[in-house]
Amino acid sequence: MSRGYYSNPLLSLRLCVEILLALRVEILSCLPALRYPVPMAILKVIKLAVLNIPPVSFTLQAGECVGLSGPSGEGKSLLLRALADLIPHEGRVMLDGEDCNHVHPAQWRRRVGLLLPESHWWSDRVGDHFPVREMDRVHALGFDERVFDWQVSRCSSGEKQRLALLRLLANLPEVLLLDEPTASLDPRSTRRVEALVEDYRREHAAPVLWVSHDPAQLARVADRQLRLEHKILREAAA
Amino acid sequence: MSVIHLSMADLGLAALLVLLLAALSFVLRLQLQRQILISAARTTIQLLLIGLVLKSLFASSSPFWIALMALVMLAVAGREVMQRQKRPFRGAWGYGLGTLSMFVSSFATTVFALQAVIGTEPWYLPQYSIPLLGMMLGNTMNGVALALDRLTSSAWQQRAVIETRLTLGQDWSEAIADISRDSLRTGMLPIINAMAAAGIVSLPGMMTGQILSGTPPLEAVKYQILIMFMIAAGTGFASVIATWLGARRLFDARQRLRLSRLAGGE
């Protein structure tokens, strides 16, 4: 009798490698942390001052959703724009212990993703605004792959707002700053957006700062709430 | 063929045409008669003065006076560029941006043409250098003014789009790329169109002038071709420089869009 298959050390080594290769997709999918090497993002804001808003300090913990409310014109949007380093500001903003001023500006804005209240588009076709196409999220907001061939000018404002969120998430930001992300959406789409942000936040342990005028919405999505009133930022009772 | 000299009386006859136009403006209540007369007077005085200046400049041929003349022309062109913009940059940039790009482009092109193409002796010979530079500056000025005006007013109008692109992690140059490209096209298209139409739709002024003064038409045409190429290159380069510097200036070191650097900005 010839010697068995398993007794040849070279052949059995090859077998092991082949089994591993065949199972690589399953093995990798068990290790989401390996597929997405996202660090635990913590956004620390120290004495941040913009224009006429006195310095504010707060911290967004990894995976935490913080609601931000307050009357119009108090500077909620200014605050978010300063966090994304879109406007000049004083004080420090740190992501994972890294100071904003020490990170390349485009890189910073990629990592600290700001969704502006109104969406703007520079190309005619929706698809031209997406560097990568993540179909799961597209489906989650009620679109299908044909959406990328749509003309931007023919989209409704609600469609554009949802697409703007998808466009932002395609960058895989570590922090989400959402400025009234559901302002022009019907209740059904609003819930879809809330669920999508929730999933994203859990999957990537991303802190979320969510500006809204709807107390019920903030109660649904936020772990805790901040309120900007009379130019003072304070923790609000949930 | 020699030049037929014009007497003051001859020019007076031509001035009658302008007076007629002013009268027409009065009758039609266009309220332009004042402007027409003042502008006509300015043309007369300014051109007579420049004639006197050129006469003494050609006589002396001193590099110092030629350089001074060139700088004065540049300074006036720079002011014109700034005034033609709806929202020029504030401070020294407003004046410096257009002037610098015109200086680099027009002077380089003119010196190249004098040295390498025409080969005048000395290279700054005022009969050649001053008219050439004048034509260069006049056309470059148009291109730069158009490009910069388009750049700043587009950035003003499309602020939200630029900022959206920045929030998506685009570099400043990428975020304003469409606007820059548009501005460049705006600055360059007039001279491209002029090259395409030259000789068919219009007889260029310099060529016409040379022919009137007795130059054989083919010689005049060759000079006109040289000038067209110089103007096209000069306008193009100046527009590129001005647009790039202007676009860069719209953003700060942290690549934030700073419209407050434009006149009328908050």
Taking contacts as CB-CB distances below 8 angstroms, the residues of chain B near A168 are 167-168
Q: Cβ separation of B164 and A106 shorter than 8 Å?
A: no
DSSP A8: -
What are the extents of the domains in chain A? 5-35, 43-236
Helix intervals (H) in B158-216: 159-167, 172-175, 177-197, 205-212
Q: Which two tokens stand for residue B247?
A: 């676009």
- Interchain pair A106, B167: CB under 8 A: no
Chain B contact for A167 (CB, 8 A cutoff) = yes
Per-residue pLDDT of chain A (238 residues; tens, 9 = 90+): 444 455 676 667 777 677 777 766 556 555 555 545 555 789 999 999 998 888 999 999 999 999 999 999 889 999 999 999 999 999 999 999 899 999 999 999 999 999 999 999 999 999 999 988 888 999 999 999 999 999 999 999 999 999 999 999 999 999 999 999 999 899 999 999 999 999 999 999 999 999 999 999 999 999 999 999 988 899 887 5
pLDDT of A27: 60
Q: How far apart are CA A178 and CA A211, in angstroms?
A: 6
Q: Report CB contact under 8 Å: A122, B169.
A: no
Cβ of A5 under 8 Å from any chain B Cβ? no
Query: Phi/psi at A110 (nearest 5 deg)?
Result: -65, -40
d(CA A128, CA A167): 10
Torsion, CA A201, CA A204, CA A206, CA A211, rounded to 10: -30
Going by the DSSP 8-state scheme, the letter that residue A222 receives in this structure is -
What is the mean pLDDT of each successive set of 10 residues along chain B, which is 266 residues long? 81 94 94 92 93 92 92 95 92 95 96 92 91 93 96 96 97 96 96 89 85 91 93 96 97 96 80
CB contact under 8 A, A106 and B178: no
Bridge pairing between strands A65-69 and A208-211: parallel
User: Distance (Å, rounded) from C-alpha A157 to C-alpha A163?
Assistant: 10
Q: Is B178 in Cβ contact with A105 (below 8 Å)?
A: no
Residue B73: the pLDDT is 94
Residues whose CB is less than 8 angstroms from the CB of residue A216 and which lie 6 or more positions away in sequence, other chains included: none
Q: Which two tokens stand for residue B258?
A: 């700073």
Dihedral sign for Cα atoms in the order A198, A199, A200, A202: positive
In the block, tokens 């942000």 appear at A197
Instruction: Give A43-236's CATH code, choosing from 3.60.15.10, 3.40.50.300, 3.10.450.50, 3.10.310.10.
Output: 3.40.50.300
Q: What's the ipTM?
A: 0.82
Rounded distance between C-alpha atoms, residue B189 and residue B185, angstroms: 6
Helix (H/G/I), strand (E/B), else coil: B188: helix
Cβ atoms B156, B259 nearer than 8 A: yes
| Closest Cα in chain B, distance from residue A10 (Å) | 50
- The answer to whether A76 touches A211, Cβ cutoff 8 Å, is yes
HSE-CB at B193 with a 13 A cutoff on CA atoms is 9
Chain A residues within an 8 Å CB radius of B161: 120-122
Quickly count: other Cβ atoms within 10 Å of residue A28's Cβ: 11
Confidence at residue A188, expressed as pLDDT on a 0 to 100 scale = 94
Beta strands A43-50 and A90-95: pairing type? antiparallel
For residues B124 and B132, what is the distance between their CA atoms, to the nearest angstrom? 11
* CB neighbours of residue B212 within 10 Å: 12
Please provide the DSSP assignment of A129-193 as one string: G-SS--HHHHHHTT--GGGGGSBGGGS-HHHHHHHHHHHHHTT--SEEEEESTTTT--HHHHHHH
| Sign of the four-CA dihedral A200, A203, A204, A207 | positive
Chains A, B: CB pairs < 8 Å? 52
| Residue B221 identity (one-letter amino acid) | V
Among B246, B244, B224, B242, residue whose Cα is nearest residue B105: B242
| C-beta atoms surrounding B1 within 10 Å | 9
**Residues in chain A closer than 8 A to B163 (CB atoms):** 86, 116, 120
Q: Do A168 and B170 touch (CB under 8 A)?
A: no
Pull the structure tokens for residue A137: 């999220």
Q: Which amino acid is at B162?
A: I
Strand order in the sheet with A232-236: A112-115, A175-179, A208-211, A65-69, A224-229, A232-236
**Which one, of B134, B145, B128, B165, lies nearest residue B242 by Cα?**
B145
Locate B193 and state its tokens: 């169109």
A106 vs B160, B161, B171: nearest CB? B171
Answer for the pair A185, A193: CB distance below 8 angstroms, yes or no. Answer: yes
Taking CA atoms, A171 is separated from A43, A114, A132, in Å, by: 18, 11, 8
- B14-to-A48, A140, B36, B206 alpha-carbon distances in Å: 70, 78, 14, 21
Residue of A121, A122, A174 for testing the chain B interface, max B β-carbons within 10 Å: A122
Burial readout A33-70 (b: 16 or more C-beta within 10 A, e: otherwise): eeeeeeeebbbbbeebebeebeebebebbbbbbbbbbb
Given an 8 Å threshold on Cβ–Cβ distance, is B256 in contact with A120?
no
**CB A157 within 8 Å of CB A188:** no
